[in-house]
Each structure stands twice: as structure tokens, then as C-alpha cells.
């Protein structure tokens, strides 16, 4: 007789003995019996549950369980942030959270003592039931005190949106909380309410946020989707948008105090998606102006995931593609030299501009410089102009624009990838690629067929966003072996020719 389950992951005790502590874990109950098995959930490590013993950490033999039935993960944005724990249903027969069915391919935020049920067998047939109880450490709390919502003056309901007390982010911009759409809940009473996010910003009196105005008109799978905005009498702006639960690209690359590189293949797919988003934005005369690792969100913390551009707080909606911008904004580490940061300004003072740039300004190619910095970091783990880390050093190095491809980190990177980075980090704006030219660069063009198929297979699945112009009408045909996902995104670094 086959065992009911097996586990391919270290237990919580194993992790603690190794000197680390898992912030949360799953307690496994199979066939009505407590197995005393705990599965740790740690930062950016997916825990897959299903019948596939090669891919899943918890392997279940019940035939009603899918090959990969559901996935769990944890996201830390930084050491000071509250960890977020998520579950995603991938099954044919359904996953239940506290008795309510989860929508397939949708992600839900977990809380302490949540019960995840993988098979809804009857009470008389408990052998079919697999229950996972989610347990979070006592010192970690992922909810905001309900009273604090009232103290902040936030509304609990806005039209059909119900704002919960669960906070998933905060900062100088404001707060991000979980919200539900009551209209969807009423239409699908058997399903667990889908999670959305609401970003709440404090505005100056009589001023509508341009970020909301821009995002409301955008519709692209690689740009954060906004559904509704509302400004209350206390000048709080509520932006109701998709919840992107995989964390940001910075936290995905962060290991301790350092950033690590990723494989060239994985980097290529991310760059391809960013270029799709930038091409869409620039065609509508919108410039992001603050493109960086922190503003690139992942749907899941794994290779071959969909990425989403977020934080359009300083984006610019131009009157035409010939209009120039003159405001010094952005993050110096990612900013193109023509934006005009000066190396001799004192920290925290208002930004100043070099006289030679005063009238010339800059255009949408500033976003492509930022992409060059991001690509450099993904391929090597090194910021190209970081120097000693001071703002003065970064600005001075960026103005010179000298790249060092002799570093050992570049040894396993293809010449085409180096050429792409070099063509984006051109101090001469005329020589720098724009978004359309970036999509035609040899690094992209040589792998375009694979990239397009992956984009439709993995990125646009269940997504009705705009189609790529370069895709042929027969993209739905069965993928050839050469572009099987497991082969296209290898675990080990692979040099692309």
C-alpha cells in the first residue's frame, strides 16, 4: 500500500537546528490523522503540494490531488517589514480556505490558524481529506489593529469595496491594505473573496493624485491594474488595484546585505516584460521616471513569473512625444545623467540642475537608462555606477558612463547581453536605445520565438491583456520540446549564445 504522503523538505526543527527560524509553518493532517509533520515556510522559497514527487515538497498520493495542487510562499520586503504569507490554488478539484473554495490561479493572504483543505471528502470518508493548518510565530503579526483604521480616519467601505484590517505595506507614500470586492463576493458566494489591494495616500487639499489619473487609463499585463479611485473628505485618496503577492525584484535578489545575480535566461524574460511595458507606456507618451528594482513586482517569487511595474507617483503624462521634461526626480542610482542630478548638492536639500542641462531637458529614454542599470544588476549582482555608495560617487560615475566588463561576474554572461547593457547605458542620449529598438536588439531578437511563447504560456495565461504585435496567430499550438518551461528556465546559470 502506498503511503498517504511524503515530504521532501526539511522540518521546522531542522531549520532551527541549522541556526535559522522559519517565520511560519504548515501542520499536516492526512486522512484524519495528525502526522506531526511540519513544513516550514521561509522567505522566497515556494512550498508546492501535490502528487508530483519531483516538483512538490509535500507529496500526496490521493488521486483527487493534482500534480501541483497548491503553492505556499512568504515575502519579506526588508528586515523591518511584516512577512506576508500566501497560498495559490493550481488544482483541478479545488483548494479550500476555511471552508470556502479558492479561485484557480488566484492568490490569497494567509493568517494564523487558517485551515487549507485539499479534498472535500465527506465526514464518513476522512481518508480523502488532506488538511494543512497554517501557523505563524507568535511574535509576527500580519494584521493592523482594527481600531487603528478609525484612528487614521480610513473608511471601511468605498462603494462596492470592503477594506479589511490587514496591512501589506506602508511607507512615506501611505498605506496598502487588503480589500475585497463585495459585488464579486455576492455573485460567487461559494468562493473565498478574492484579495485586492488598496493604496491609501494623504493628499494636499483640492489636489487629485496624478498617479491615479494615469493608472486608470492603462491596461497592460505588465503594469499595475487600477480599478477604482476615491477621495474622502479627509483628503485620503484610495487607489483600488490588483494585489501583486510575489514581492519586489529588490527583495527577490537580496541575500542578507548583498544583491545576488540571476541566470541570464531568467533576466532575459524579465527584461522582455519590462520592455513590453515601457513600449506601451511610451506609445501613450507616459514616462515612468522612477524605474528601479523596488518598483518591479513579481506575481510569485520564482523564475518565469509575470512582473508588474508599479509606483507611478512621479510618472509624467506628456502632451506629445516631442515634449521635454525638466524636473529633477527619481533615484540617483537609476537616473540617467541628463535628468540633471548634481554631485555637489548636500544630502536632503532640494534638487539642483547643471546649467548646461537647464534648457535641454530629457525624454522617455531616461526609462531605458534605468532598465540598463536594472539589467546590469540582475546579470552581475552589481550596480554599475555604485562606486563607494555615496550619492556623489554614483552621480559622477553615471556621467562618465564607463562600464567594466572585465569583472569576473561577467565571465558567464553572453556578449549579446553585454551589448544590450552597453547600448542602454549610453550617456549620449542619441545613441541610447528606445523601447522599440530594445525589443529588436540581438539579445532579444535571437530568442524572440521562445520569449513570445513563454510570454503567452506563462505570463498571459488567463489574462486578456493586449497582444504582442509580433505574435503569429498560431501561438496557441502545443509548445515544442525546445521551449518546455523547465528547460527554458534552468536551475543553474546558463550562458546564452
The count of C-alpha atoms lying within 13 angstroms of the C-alpha of 324, restricted to the half-sphere facing its C-beta, is 10
- 31 appears as a binding residue in the annotation: no
- 176 appears as a binding residue in the annotation: yes
Cell of 84: 506576508
Q: If we measure between CA atoms, which residue out of 457, 442, 443, 445 comes closest to residue 487?
A: 457
- 171 appears as a binding residue in the annotation: yes
**Residues near 155 by beta carbon (within 8 Å), at least 6 away in sequence:** 163, 232, 236, 238
Q: If we measure between CA atoms, which residue out of 49, 42, 40 comes closest to residue 6?
A: 49
Cell of 473: 496567430
Q: Nearest 5 degrees, angle CA 446-CA 448-CA 452?
A: 165
Known active-site residue 428:
no
- CA pair distance 1, 31, nearest whole angstrom: 15
- 172 appears as a binding residue in the annotation: yes
The count of C-alpha atoms lying within 13 angstroms of the C-alpha of 43, restricted to the half-sphere facing its C-beta, is 17
Beta bridge partners of 85: 74
- CA pair distance 110, 87, nearest whole angstrom: 7
Per DSSP, the three-state class of 124 is helix
- CA pair distance 310, 297, nearest whole angstrom: 7
- CA pair distance 467, 199, nearest whole angstrom: 28
Q: Which of 290, 311, 367, 423 is catalytic?
A: 290
Instruction: Output the DSSP codes for 26-46.
Output: EEEEETTEEEEEEEEE-BT--
- 440 appears as a binding residue in the annotation: no
- 199 appears as a binding residue in the annotation: yes
Beta bridge partners of 24: 41, 136
Beta bridge partners of 170: 175
- CA pair distance 230, 428, nearest whole angstrom: 42
- 447 appears as a binding residue in the annotation: no
Q: If we measure between CA atoms, which residue out of 430, 153, 465, 420 comes closest to residue 308?
A: 465
**How far is CA 196 from each of CA 36, 37, 318, 407, 491, rounded to the nearest angstrom?**
34, 32, 30, 43, 32
Q: If we measure between CA atoms, which residue out of 497, 451, 444, 494 comes closest to residue 471?
A: 451
Q: What DSSP designation does 226 have?
A: E
**How far is CA 98 from each of CA 114, 276, 474, rounded to the nearest angstrom?**
6, 39, 42
Q: If we measure between CA atoms, which residue out of 22, 83, 104, 93 comes closest to residue 57?
A: 22
CB count in 10 Å sphere of residue 492 = 5
Are 108 and 128 in contact, with CB atoms under 8 Å apart?
no
**Residues flagged as binding site for ATP:** 168-176, 199
**Residues flagged as binding site:** 168-176, 199
Q: Where in the sequence numbering do the catalytic residues fall?
A: 290
Amino acid at each position: 500500500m502506498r503511503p498517504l504522503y511524503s515530504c521532501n523538505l526539511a522540518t521546522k526543527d531542522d531549520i532551527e537546528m541549522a541556526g535559522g527560524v522559519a517565520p511560519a509553518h504548515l501542520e499536516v493532517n492526512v486522512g484524519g490523522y495528525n502526522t506531526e509533520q511540519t513544513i516550514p515556510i521561509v522567505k522566497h522559497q515556494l512550498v508546492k503540494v501535490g502528487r508530483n514527487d519531483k516538483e512538490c515538497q509535500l507529496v500526496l498520493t490521493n488521486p483527487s490531488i493534482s500534480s501541483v495542487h497548491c503553492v505556499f510562499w512568504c515575502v519579506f520586503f526588508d528586515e523591518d517589514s511584516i512577512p506576508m504569507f500566501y497560498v495559490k490554488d493550481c488544482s483541478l478539484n479545488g483548494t479550500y480556505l476555511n471552508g470556502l473554495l479558492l479561485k484557480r490561479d488566484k492568490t490569497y493572504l494567509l493568517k494564523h490558524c487558517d485551515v487549507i483543505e485539499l479534498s472535500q471528502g465527506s465526514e464518513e470518508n476522512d481518508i480523502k481529506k488532506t488538511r494543512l493548518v497554517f501557523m505563524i510565530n507568535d511574535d509576527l503579526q500580519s494584521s493592523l489593529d482594527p481600531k487603528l483604521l478609525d484612528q487614521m480616519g480610513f473608511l471601511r467601505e468605498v462603494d462596492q469595496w470592503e477594506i479589511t484590517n490587514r496591512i501589506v505595506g506602508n511607507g512615506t507614500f501611505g498605506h496598502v491594505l487588503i480589500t475585497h470586492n463585495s459585488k464579486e463576493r455576492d455573485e460567487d458566494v461559494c468562493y473565498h473573496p478574492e484579495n485586492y489591494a488598496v493604496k491609501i495616500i494623504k493628499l494636499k487639499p483640492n489636489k487629485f493624485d496624478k498617479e491615479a489619473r494615469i493608472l486608470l487609463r492603462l491596461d497592460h499585463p505588465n503594469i499595475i491594474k487600477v480599478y477604482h479611485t476615491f477621495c474622502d473628505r479627509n483628503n485620503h485618496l484610495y487607489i483600488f488595484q490588483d494585489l501583486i503577492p510575489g514581492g519586489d525584484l529588490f527583495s527577490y535578489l537580496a541575500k542578507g546585505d548583498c544583491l545576488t545575480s540571476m541566470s541570464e535566461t531568467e533576466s532575459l524574460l524579465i527584461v522582455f516584460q519590462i520592455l513590453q511595458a515601457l513600449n506601451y507606456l511610451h506609445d501613450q507618451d507616459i514616462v515612468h521616471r522612477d524605474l528601479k528594482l523596488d518598483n518591479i513586482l513579481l506575481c510569485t517569487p520564482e523564475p518565469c513569473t509575470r512582473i508588474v511595474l508599479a509606483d507611478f507617483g512621479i510618472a509624467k503624462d506628456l502632451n506629445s512625444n516631442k515634449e521635454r521634461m525638466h524636473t529633477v526626480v527619481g533615484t540617483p542610482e537609476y537616473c540617467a545623467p541628463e535628468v540633471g542630478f548634481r554631485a555637489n548638492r548636500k544630502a536632503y536639500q532640494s534638487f539642483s540642475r547643471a546649467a548646461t542641462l537647464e534648457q535641454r531637458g530629457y525624454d522617455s529614454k531616461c526609462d531605458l537608462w534605468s532598465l540598463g542599470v536594472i539589467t546590469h544588476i540582475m546579470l552581475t549582482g552589481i550596480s554599475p555606477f555604485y562606486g563607494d555608495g555615496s550619492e556623489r560617487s554614483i552621480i559622477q560615475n553615471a556621467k562618465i558612463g564607463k562600464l567594466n566588463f572585465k569583472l569576473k561576474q561577467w565571465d558567464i554572461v553572453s556578449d549579446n547581453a553585454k551589448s544590450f547593457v552597453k547600448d542602454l547605458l549610453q550617456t549620449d542620449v542619441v545613441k541610447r536605445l528606445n523601447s522599440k529598438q530594445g525589443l529588436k536588439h540581438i539579445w532579444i531578437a535571437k530568442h524572440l520565438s521562445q520569449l513570445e511563447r513563454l510570454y503567452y504560456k506563462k505570463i498571459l495565461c488567463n489574462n486578456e491583456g493586449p497582444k504582442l504585435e509580433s505574435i503569429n496567430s498560431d501561438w496557441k499550438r502545443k509548445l515544442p520540446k525546445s521551449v518546455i518551461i523547465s528547460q527554458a528556465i534552468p536551475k543553474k546559470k546558463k550562458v546564452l549564445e
